[in-house]
Structure 1
């Protein structure tokens, strides 16, 4: 019997119910805070964008941001939202000032939804607007208004303050990671020279825009002074370093497009053409772009993004009456970069030397590369190291963000993960023992070392990061000295030859439990001594305590709890001016000094042997 299909069957959801049922439509993935584009950061960004738009319009030069565990407070000193419209702005769909192109011609959040999504997805949400000594404060919970308060004769500067707590019903377990917020705040100041942001008491300010961004993010001094070019609705900064790979920071209307898009594609192609034309030589594109560090920021009317989190620009045109994105970036770069190189002969000479050096190195390893490719081709037919998954990051799929690969040591650990993984989204690559220490070696070793060559082939990153097959590259080693050592050697390999993999936030460490505490009724998996003590206290009596020495000891049935929805990952992050050596010491984790000395000594012994 079919269900009745009448007027009663047609439901119209309240705006906040719709957002809460379909949060992905508004803020992309929910996440737990371990990725920079997780939902909790999107909430923060949606509120920040409104305050930054006020600055761009010439109102208010500072923004105060405070994150105290789960409570986020953002106060700007703009005009303050008109008090009569305060409730509508945060609770009525399609209400906002951004429909008037004259006021907000080039804003990121043009759909009038941003701050309403923050309201709907917060367990507590408060907004207060101050205008000429008069203020209104409105309180919400899960998008439903719970109260309001009016103030008169206030001795407070004009502006808007928003306070919110992300709702645990929606976001489950989450944590704000300080480094991600600091990066976000710094990027806001680089893109808005003259704006001061104070985050948890620390002040960020930029006078030189994208030039400051490159100086801040480069590990070594650039080989020539940063080329900084500004035009109407476009700003570019370019230099070369001595690292492997290409490093780009791209932005659209202040939005960090971590996955690039039409503007970055145009920039990369036109850069090659301009340099070829300037030197009148048909250089290989990879030689021109080897070791490049560049930032490009453009402004577009009504931008179209390829994903809800706005990390990749899809727009073909600058605006309804404007040129294409390609033409806009191309015309600017060809004219300005060519002019710069003609006027700055010393820079042009250094750049030419860098290109020729890259060409020489590429040709020197081309023979090794050819042999390695043949080896990899044979191995790929029966590559026992890789147990692949079905969904990949570089293919079209709604679940491509979930695509991940575990790099494990030894057969027992890879066996446990292989049996308990999700075959759709989780691949496994198993190492045989300790990989080679690549610290200070050239890229030739990537092709000469069979294991690294197969890993490079599995990740599909030889030519470009854009072909990366897995969004998360997860290092899954034991928490003992050997496991730590392998972890460090892998991080060294990625830092040395594929630093973008780490800089773009794709590399993680899998946290696995150290103890199992259980009685007949309940089992707790504990990741630290503190968690173990808590579990013992909860179970009382004399529970059974098991210490896991290695991943191979954990049965596949148990392992599925640690790599499923409750997976605990620590992102491997680059901090400002950190050398590889500093990164290595950081990723030793909470070891005793004796263990650290042991690992350091072994690292140097291996390095000496290699050389």
Structure 2
């Protein structure tokens, strides 16, 4: 019998808890990533620790949480009850140990699986936990889940509570970098969902008095709202909604038990249905669902007993019921919306009139577009153009039960040589390639009509499957992969303009990136180093000594497929295109793509820093 066919007792091994987490981190924290995406593992680690502090706040203890980030070390301190001192080591290092199995205490808790801080411990090269109760303190330190120091209980004058400090392990999270924008967004969400809570992050205070109303207030500028934000609340549900004057698509923020369910789920589906049904009944008109929901910007939060999520990272709710002996999620959400929204519209005729005008306008626009849309679809069918533009992958974001769905990526490339290199070196399971031909059209100031009339935009929209609703989005990451020269920069701007103009929520929700590609290759006979900046090139030359060979890459087409796989694989470097609430989308578009002088446009293109200059809201 050949060696590879032997299957004996020696092949069976049991991993202890920390080995299993370190060997299969994706099962516990989703994808690893390098910090360029909001759902990368390093943010999930912070979230797991904060979730425990939130549970303390919900139980009525500890109204402040302090979070600090220095270099790569994160510290989270609450002023709750503190972990019972005799269990400090067990709670962070023994699976299936925690306070949340007593469902009386944590009926609608964020995390119910007893894994959270154990995963953080196992995936950190330094982890310290301190608990203060009854003027006594107990502390312990770990490395990769192994206990390295256990301090005895001592007297202290410090305030009660728990403090966790950790540094994520760089052997697991390679080349990672925390981005403040993602951390601040996460912390603000905690405040919106827990009114009265204060979170202090590196000295900055975050607090919310009006919950989801404040979330929408930051998301959509006052002069872009068709009517004032509607804000409705009950014990286990809260919603806020308005319609945008400038946005084409629907935009939703959804939460379950304080968890941001970025992929929605049963509660969001029920909410979208309930709005349509309630509005139809209120006006007694059989409107199309898409006309009612077009341009809606809204947020919903529900609290469910023992929720069932479709993945460990809890991005999509799978539960159909609110809890044991409770109504279905669908019935609960529908009854709430039907009663509260209907009452609100009766009591606020100005809002009802504004909403009606918006629906009728959406109906007119849809009818105007229907002929063009049909023509575009027929044209695409006849020419089989989808196949020419898109080289698809196997796993998509919509396959939420597939553990790799969050890795699904579409590269938008320009030119045959760059498309060819990426296509040959990509991972066919999770990476798709969409090829542009030349520069896309400047869509600034144009209506949705152009998306159907322009072949490339129509096919790009179809490839992403976002024509009707964002829930169908097929790729978690949309990556613009162009040359780093002026032409490449201009193509980036034109694509960012397209997304800002017609699908801004793709950017708001953190799906759009720029691919960083190396500028230089420095090598000798033993080693090759790819450099993304002049500083990296100098460091590589110093490291390799002698006279290494230096190649300057002028464009993506010059990089061979064999080399390209290094830049779009495990060590991929992505710059997120971000939005904040400081500037309106309209003013950003005007600034970048309006009728500026050629000098000013050249200045903008040459100075575009994706992370800094395209952060608007």
2:306 counterpart of 1:293? no
The corresponding residue for 2:329 is 325
Secondary structure of 2:149's counterpart equals: strand
What is the match of residue 612 of structure 2? none
1:106–1:253: 8 Å Cα contact kept in structure 2?
Answer: yes
1:375 CA displacement: 1.2
Relative to the length of structure 2, the TM-score reads 0.93
User: 1:408–1:428: 8 Å Cα contact kept in structure 2?
Assistant: yes
SS of 1:260 mapped into structure 2: coil
The aligned counterpart of 2:235 is 232
Unaligned runs of 5+ in 1: 604-611
Deviation at 1:22, TM superposition (A): 2.1
Whether 1:402 aligns to 2:407 is yes
SS of the equivalent of 1:169 reads coil
* 2:558 alignment partner in structure 1: 553
Asked whether the 8 Å contact 1:481–1:595 carries over to 2, the reply is no
Cα deviation, residue 401, structure 1:
2.4
Residue of structure 2 equivalent to 1:126: 128
> Any gaps of 5 or more consecutive residues in structure 2?
609-617
1:417 Cα offset (Å): 1.6
**Are 1:54 and 2:56 counterparts?**
yes
| Secondary structure, aligned partner of 2:384 | helix
Q: Report whether the alignment pairs 1:91 with 2:93.
A: yes
Moved more, 365-374 or 296-305: 365-374
Alpha-carbon distance between aligned partners in 1 of 2:193 and 2:503, rounded to the nearest angstrom: 27
Corresponding position of 1:201: 203
Give the match for residue 608 of structure 1: none
CA deviation digits over 1:547-597, x for unaligned, max 9?
111111222222222112211111111111433366569999xxxx96853
Deviations 1:214-239 (A, max 9, x none): 00111453221111111111111111
Mapped contact 2:444–2:589 kept (Cα < 8 A): no
Give the Cα separation in 2 of the matches to 1:161 and 1:205.
Answer: 20
Q: 2:485 matched to 1:480?
A: yes
DSSP 3-state at the match of 1:365: helix
TM-score (norm 1): 0.94
1:69–1:175 contact (8 Å) kept in structure 2: no
Out of 235, 245, 248, which is 1:244 matched to? 248
Written as runs of structure 1 = structure 2, the 5 A alignment for 1:570-589 is 570-580=575-585
CA contact under 8 A between 1:20 and 1:121: conserved in structure 2? yes
The 2-side partners of 1:417 and 1:10 are apart by 40
Which residue does 1:111 correspond to in 2? 113
Q: Deviations over 1:191-213 (max 9, x none)?
A: 00010000111110000000001
C-alpha separation between the residues in 2 aligned to 1:229 and 1:385? Answer: 45
Count of residues in Structure 1 that have an aligned counterpart in Structure 2: 597
Change (3 A) 1:597 1:153: same
Contact preservation (8 Å) 1:481, 1:599: no
Against the structure 1 CA distance between its residues 156 and 382, is the aligned structure 2 distance closer, same or farther, given a 3 Å change threshold? closer
Is the 1:485–1:599 contact (alpha carbons within 8 Å) kept by the matching residues of 2?
no
CA-CA distance at 1:9 after TM superposition:
5.6
Say whether residues 1:439 and 2:441 are aligned partners: no
Using the alignment, how far apart are the partners of 2:228 and 2:586 within structure 1? 26
Q: C-alpha offsets along residues 259-287 of structure 1, whole Å, 9 cap, x if unaligned?
A: 00000000000100000000000111111
